[in-house]
Amino acid sequence: MTDATTEATNSGGSAGVVPEEDPTAFGWLNTVDHKRIGRLFIACSLLFGLAGAIADLLVRLDLTSSGGHTVLNSDSFVQVFTFTRDALVFGMLIPLFLGIAIYVVPLQVGAPNVAFGRAAALSFWGWLVSAGVLVGAYAANGGPGGGFADGVDLHLLAVAGLVISLLTGAICVAVTTLTMRAPGMYMDRTPPFAWSALVTASMLVVSLGVVLGQIVILYIEHRYGPRFLGGNYGIWSRIDWMYRTPQLFIYVVPVLGVIAEIMLAAARRWVFEPLALYFTMGLVGLFGFGAWANFGITDEGADIVDGLEGIVLVGLYAGALAGVGGLLALLGFTVWQSRTWPRPSTAVLAAFAAGQLIAVAALVGLVGAGVDWLQIAGRGVDGNAPLRFTTWVTGQQSLLIYGAGLLGALAALHWWAPKIWGRRLSELAGWASLAAIGGGAFLAWLGPTLSGAFTEQPQFVYGEPLLTTLYSGQVDDSGAEGLSALGAVGVAIVLAGLALVVANLLISVVMGKGAPAESDPWGGLTPEWLLDSPPPLGPSQTLPELTSGTPLLDPELNGNGLNGSGVAADRDAHEVPA
């Protein structure tokens, strides 16, 4: 540790005090330490992601035949289709980055623990139990389109449990960032990932709160009401917006924080205008608000691309594109200012690729929304479907979940693995995972995007869900089958890449084959790199006395992120002339 430290109990108040941790295996069950909670989220969400990718592969394979089923059947297709979205979003994407945030953010802001440690622990166990109930509901022929009424109700309760649990964890992270920063660290000097976690948490509270209200209405209507919302077949049309753009942009805002952390460390510089960095991330979160873009309680939402609503949808994509483009331009200019090209590594290349994919998703979404809005009158006359009802949407989901989401997670895991587990992950396996996930995500996007644009293959037929897979009468030509097969190949490659990530963690961390890591193996800039790798369980005896979110860089800028003392300040004083 450095000389510039303060007692842990003096940073963060009673909400951040960490009880003594049980070092035995039983301690994982009653832990309130943010480091253990974060690891639990990361491990379980990756496993759930494997299940979701396998289910998605089954769906994609079934879509390779337009006139009949190939691997599924009429009783299982709809449930597997909807389970795929549940698993990839609420089982993997959101909890994976939530786990990383729960572990990293307190270290970044100089807090002894995440705010409301018991609530954070409850968030994980509530999420895990709800995920188990979700699987059980589908296994019992429940879920949207299910044939067992109690199973349909159980699915709604499980989704509500997932949303509440994830919101609880997100609020804990947000409160940590807002109220438990070290004295002297103002919001405009907060590390980029901590800021991205705050933006994500804020927008999740605003948007997912809407779906909780919808679930209450759907549950009452399905269990007790006259089924005026369409019964079990009407459920998906009213919650599908959670798995579509623009809402998906909110879920990948943490990826932007990861990108900023890695690229700024690689450039060894801070951005010339920090407020622009924070503003662009907030812009993506703000314009990712997709709660309004759903069918609501009536079918009027079907005309969301028409009139004023269409302009709003185009504006949301344009705003998200402006935010992503502005952030990437700002980071690119900073790297250019450094006059040094970042050393290639899994973290750097995965972060770079993830940023490009988010920008592409925003651009493609803007084009699709604009085309729908401009041609809605003609499409209504000739009977063609808007792009938002075709597999164009599946392409967007693939680009953001498989592409940006998994590549961003790959970058984060390789970057923070030394701090989370004390060992580096294999770079060779990392490069292989990067190639597989990146290439597979491209194919998983390309196939359905082209099919939606040129054959009008339906993404999901709400009124008659089986027409989603028996779509021979819904498309313009037979090219949809080949393009669906291309998407299936992409998902299979992504699945292999994700399995390789899990294997890399098992071998490098669990089996201890990864190289032991020093405190700061990457030359990082943010406060977590001042601590041991990994920090010990339980409360730290001392914490850095911070006045900046980039204490390892400030001496180079004649700043004073560590009050001019400590190992980092001494090191930079020797590296950089005064």
User: Which pLDDT belongs to residue 377?
Assistant: 46
pLDDT of 381 reads 42
pLDDT at 553 (0 to 100): 60
Residues 523-551, mean pLDDT to the nearest whole number? 74
The token duo for 447 is: 């196939």
Q: Is the pLDDT of residue 541 over 80?
A: no
Please state the rounded mean pLDDT for residues 259-271.
89
Name 458's bridge partners. 390
Query: In this predicted structure, what is the pLDDT of residue 346?
Result: 93
Encoding tokens for residue 226?
Answer: 């006259």
Answer yes or no: are the C-beta atoms of 331 and 399 closer than 8 Å.
no
User: Model confidence at 227, in pLDDT bands (50, 70, 90)?
Assistant: low
pLDDT of residue 294: 60
Q: What's the token pair of residue 507? A: 């071998």
Torsion of CA 539, 541, 545, 549, to 10 degrees: -40
Phi-psi region of 306 (alpha: psi -120 to 50; beta: other; left: phi over 0): beta
Report the amino acid identity of residue 272.
Answer: F
For the CA atoms of 139, 140, 141, 144, the dihedral, rounded to the nearest 10 degrees, stands at: -80
Range of lowest pLDDT (82-86, 108-112, 555-559): 555-559
pLDDT greater than 90 at residue 193: yes
Using the predicted structure, report yes or no on whether residue 307 has a pLDDT greater than 80. no
pLDDT, mean of residues 275-281: 92
Mean pLDDT of the 293-305 span: 48
Given a contact cutoff of 8 angstroms between Cβ atoms, the answer to whether 81 and 62 are in contact is no
Determine the Cα–Cα distance for residues 475 and 471; give it in Å rounded to an integer. 7
**Cβ(358)–Cβ(259) under 8 Å?**
no
Cα-based distances in Å from 224 to 152, 174, 210, 214, 298: 13, 37, 21, 15, 19
Distance between CA 490 and CA 441 in Å, rounded? 6
Could you tell me which residues come within 8 angstroms of residue 131 by beta carbon, excluding any fewer than 6 positions away?
A: 44, 48, 90, 91, 158, 162
Residue 7 pLDDT grade (very low, low, confident, very high; cuts 50, 70, 90): very low
Tell the residue number behind the tokens 């979205």, with chain if given.
85
Task: Give the C-alpha distances (Å, rounded to integers) separating 308 from 133, 155, 286, 513.
Answer: 40, 34, 19, 58
Choice among 274-283, 306-315, 372-381, 427-436 with the minimum mean pLDDT:
372-381
- The confidence score (pLDDT) of residue 18 equals 53
Summary mean pLDDT of the chain? 84
Max distance between CA atoms of the chain, in angstroms, equals 77
Q: What percent of the chain has pLDDT over 90?
A: 51
Tell me, what's the pLDDT at 154?
A: 93
Indicate the range of 70-74, 277-281, 470-474, 484-488 predicted with least confidence.
470-474
Percent of the chain past pLDDT 70, that is, above it, reads 84
pLDDT at 126 over 90: yes
290 confidence band (pLDDT: 50, 70, 90) = confident
pLDDT of residue 328: 94
449 versus 552: the higher-pLDDT residue is 449
Residue of 173, 83, 157 whose CA lies nearest to 124: 173
Confidence band, pLDDT 50/70/90 cuts, at residue 30? confident
Q: What is the pLDDT of residue 237?
A: 84
Q: Which residues pair with 544 in a beta bridge?
A: 5
Q: Which residues sit opposite 390 in a β-bridge?
A: 458
**C-alpha 137, offset from chain centre:** 24
Query: Which residues sit opposite 6 in a β-bridge?
Result: 543
Instruction: Tell which wins on pLDDT, 462 or 96.
Output: 96
Task: Give the DSSP H/E element, type plus range, for residue 271.
Answer: none
CA-derived radius of gyration, the chain? 24
In this prediction, residue 556 carries a pLDDT of 44
Q: Residues in the chain, how many? A: 578
Report pLDDT for 562: 39
d(CA 505, CA 46): 10
At residue 560 the predicted structure's pLDDT band, cuts being 50, 70 and 90, is very low
- Residue with the bigger pLDDT between 454 and 9: it is 454
Q: What is the pLDDT of residues 313-347, one digit of tens each?
A: 888 899 999 999 999 999 999 888 887 777 889 99
Residue 548: pLDDT over 70: no
Q: Give pTM, 2 decimals.
A: 0.89
Residue 510 is predicted with a pLDDT of 93
